Structure 1
């Protein structure tokens, strides 16, 4: 969220002609790799940002091709698990991926359902307890969490061993067993394991971009939502004020929960624009395109302001951590490292938001364990809408009914002074492209940008035309996209030939933007367009 403040302008197309008005985003483009199913060339990375693949290659010892295949297999496994969970009901004992991500195993408390699991392409494993029973056992421990001693680091549901694992410091295993027994949990359902973990909230540093609380403590931004961003609850309390990494006033904690949970919502002021991307700490960003939850065993990457981007795998869900400040339940456990200041930062599986950093044990020198608060719970509990790479330039929050309507007239930005309008080229200059509105920018291979100015314009319908003067030697795709009420959808597309792309379309009334994607090459471009 460390953004540079830029001048506001925009475009509104009306029957009377073209006038300008919009707010510039904090950076010019979406900085997102083309998604699968998009322009030619996007399939090379399976629609996944190269930065994510590079981080997976580094931390999971995978080639880019292996990372792409693994993410594809994990997406299929996620769909299979969602379907089987609904079909198997109480017999469902959870599912997990093998170490290489190639095999999906599904636990069954009813062996008669094994054929259904095999038919879905997974390997069945007979167990004594369904995941609902395991969650109930863990719920007993959660209720007694206040009586857990400091020797107990936490507990979580481990579907692979069909048990609830209690983590106790070496030599304190008996204390862990007494704690579990006192809750009335069945002895066979609880497994006490020695662990040197000492989880603590990561107060001091970033998760995405860094931000500061009351000009003192530092945490990291999790994910952009409409009106602000989500982060860790231990970072601040309602009313606490935040500043960005640039020390510019940013917002206020509007809601926070810790301990018990570890989430917060920071409402930002009008100087900050939430974007559907995550800082990759390598000079770019990666897109966020949804929040589908990844299964146990799936690869996952974390972004934080102290240690940058780090990757590993999901080890368990519904974990409870006994922090010094109190017990937090419902966390996801990973083998990804983190350090103070990474708190609140973003967790991604591919391009899907997973959660915000809570705390952990260890560090990024020796390695460690880190927990995150699932993002979907934060969104649901606070009635928040995730900002994605596809929707972040949306003209308005989607209507409650999901109706594909343009934003109301009252939401339209006002026109700037006449001096802000595009000017005609000097006499004697013959530009390659002409039009009523002209915008220029810089773009690099594998990146996308939205114009005008990362925003949108409203058209009454009829003919729309655009001309793109691309950087020398670059191959660009130009798309006209219409707001459907939930996202922007492409209605016309063209590609550059001899450095120029021209697009013409008959369009219905609505809200539009142009999207530029660089397949190769980089440099300065100029886009001009008109609408009747």
Structure 2
């Protein structure tokens, strides 16, 4: 919950959110897949919080029981997609989910010979022209161009894996054409989407139930974190600058911004004083809490829920990762777009899929009356950039590993691992299936949902 006092007096629990769990199926040529339930149990997909299920049923218009079914299906699909990504290598062109309850997985490849291997893992296969690495390279050229040219009329651009292209969202087509030419990516499969929407940051200057920066601006607490035994929380970078003081919802002294990045990224973390206690809890509906158990990144199309101090608890789906947004205050790269609504004051608040932390609110358009679009800063880069450890409900050991070659080779609790990374653990080589921060209970040998033995 956000800034609520405990029975002990001024000890206040910091809140956090979580995402969906995953279940494993092997890619072609791999060892026998783990039982479908093993990954769900590891990551919490088999026991979703009631607040998550109710909100998913409400916002995604699901019948009773369908939300729980969807979370398990998303979990299984996440592992299959990760293992297929590792198996397909340079041919991999992305993965996504479709369907209200079935969460049907599609995996794209540039090589027709991969189709049978994809289907063998229970996924639909799409043969496309461009691998994901090529699409990411095109987007990076647009990112670079945004530093040289005005992007007021081209506020959003992203990798759209279902259509196998990079998309520029613009208020008018001529602006998109000029931006594409400035980046030198004409003829590179870049599409244009014309929309009048202009995303904005979601902080404001009115009072409310959240945390306050320098006694005035209001944002929402994201995820509880620790660093060298110092407790605190992650939030959005545009909420404050290093050294800015914060106060709780009752204006009681709370903490200080330790680090903040904005623009380019939208991330920060606040260290709190001894009156506050970091927990794995997140504020749900009607005062109920849900708990975070990890930070495994969800697929495009997966369900996701958000908590904020203005509008509370709302759900939707992930539209795309690796999105760039040009706000009037500056451009932010690498955020994720969702169909969840939000309003000013929700900035910094947490997103979860199931019980897995996904990110913190950056900005968006629309509102929670008529609907809207939001963007969140993924949580794993925040943990990695600032050397933070996510507070989770499950047992967790270790601090972020030092950034050196030896540490990168040996699996270490506290390090953020990207999908495809290889490590050594107990003398055995493993490849990462899902991007996540490693926990003490999540060693490669014990979590086939996250690691594939080589």
1:48 deviates by 0.5
The Cα offsets for residues 322-377 of structure 1, whole Å up to 9 and x where unpaired, read as 11011110000111110000000000000000000000011111111100000011
1:177 deviates by 1.2
Q: In the alignment, what sits opposite 1:506?
A: none
Matched, 1:332 2:336: yes
**Number of matched pairs:** 377
Q: In the alignment, what sits opposite 1:153?
A: 155
Q: Distance in 2 between matches of 1:346 and 1:276?
A: 12
1:47 deviates by 0.4
Q: Closer, same or farther in 2 for the Cα pair 1:137/1:398, shift >3 Å?
A: closer
Q: Distance in 1 between matches of 2:74 and 2:340?
A: 18
Q: In the alignment, what sits opposite 1:163?
A: 165
Matches within 5 A, 1:190-201: 190-201=190-201
Q: Distance in 1 between matches of 2:271 and 2:384?
A: 16
Q: Distance in 1 between matches of 2:298 and 2:398?
A: 26
Q: Distance in 1 between matches of 2:267 and 2:441?
A: 27
Q: Closer, same or farther in 2 for the Cα pair 1:26/1:77, shift >3 Å?
A: same
Q: In the alignment, what sits opposite 1:415?
A: none
Q: In the alignment, what sits opposite 2:356?
A: 352
**Paired residues of 1:209 and 1:279 also in contact (CA < 8 A):** no
Matched, 1:255 2:256: no
Q: In the alignment, what sits opposite 2:134?
A: 133
1:382 deviates by 1.0
Q: In the alignment, what sits opposite 1:218?
A: 218
| Matched residue SS, 1:167 | strand
Q: Distance in 2 between matches of 1:68 and 1:228?
A: 32
| Matched residue SS, 2:48 | coil
Q: In the alignment, what sits opposite 2:242?
A: 238
Q: In the alignment, what sits opposite 2:104?
A: 103
**Paired residues of 1:398 and 1:486 also in contact (CA < 8 A):** no
1:3 deviates by 3.0
**Paired residues of 2:85 and 2:92 also in contact (CA < 8 A):** yes
TM-score with structure 1 length normalisation? Answer: 0.67
Q: In the alignment, what sits opposite 1:80?
A: 80
**Paired residues of 2:45 and 2:72 also in contact (CA < 8 A):** no
Q: Distance in 2 between matches of 1:64 and 1:353?
A: 24
The Cα offsets for residues 256-294 of structure 1, whole Å up to 9 and x where unpaired, read as 001100000111111111110110141111010111111
Q: In the alignment, what sits opposite 1:174?
A: 174
Q: Distance in 1 between matches of 2:294 and 2:11?
A: 21
**Paired residues of 2:205 and 2:216 also in contact (CA < 8 A):** no
**Paired residues of 1:402 and 1:486 also in contact (CA < 8 A):** no
The Cα offsets for residues 41-81 of structure 1, whole Å up to 9 and x where unpaired, read as xxx99300000000001100112310000000000111011
| Unmatched segments (≥5 aa) in structure 2 | 23-36, 39-43, 402-409, 414-438, 443-454
Matched, 1:53 2:53: yes
Matches within 5 A, 1:292-371: 292-371=296-375
Matches within 5 A, 1:119-130: 119-130=120-131
1:402 deviates by 9.1
**Paired residues of 2:45 and 2:71 also in contact (CA < 8 A):** no
TM-score with structure 2 length normalisation? Answer: 0.78
Q: Distance in 2 between matches of 1:80 and 1:303?
A: 29
**Paired residues of 1:209 and 1:304 also in contact (CA < 8 A):** no
Q: In the alignment, what sits opposite 1:92?
A: 92
Higher relative contact order (CA 8 A, sep 6+): 2
Root mean square deviation, CA, Å: 2.9
Q: Distance in 2 between matches of 1:125 and 1:486?
A: 37
Q: In the alignment, what sits opposite 2:116?
A: 115
The Cα offsets for residues 278-323 of structure 1, whole Å up to 9 and x where unpaired, read as 1014111101011111100000001101000110000001000011
| Matched residue SS, 2:336 | strand
Q: Closer, same or farther in 2 for the Cα pair 1:205/1:286, shift >3 Å?
A: farther
Structure with the larger helix share: 2
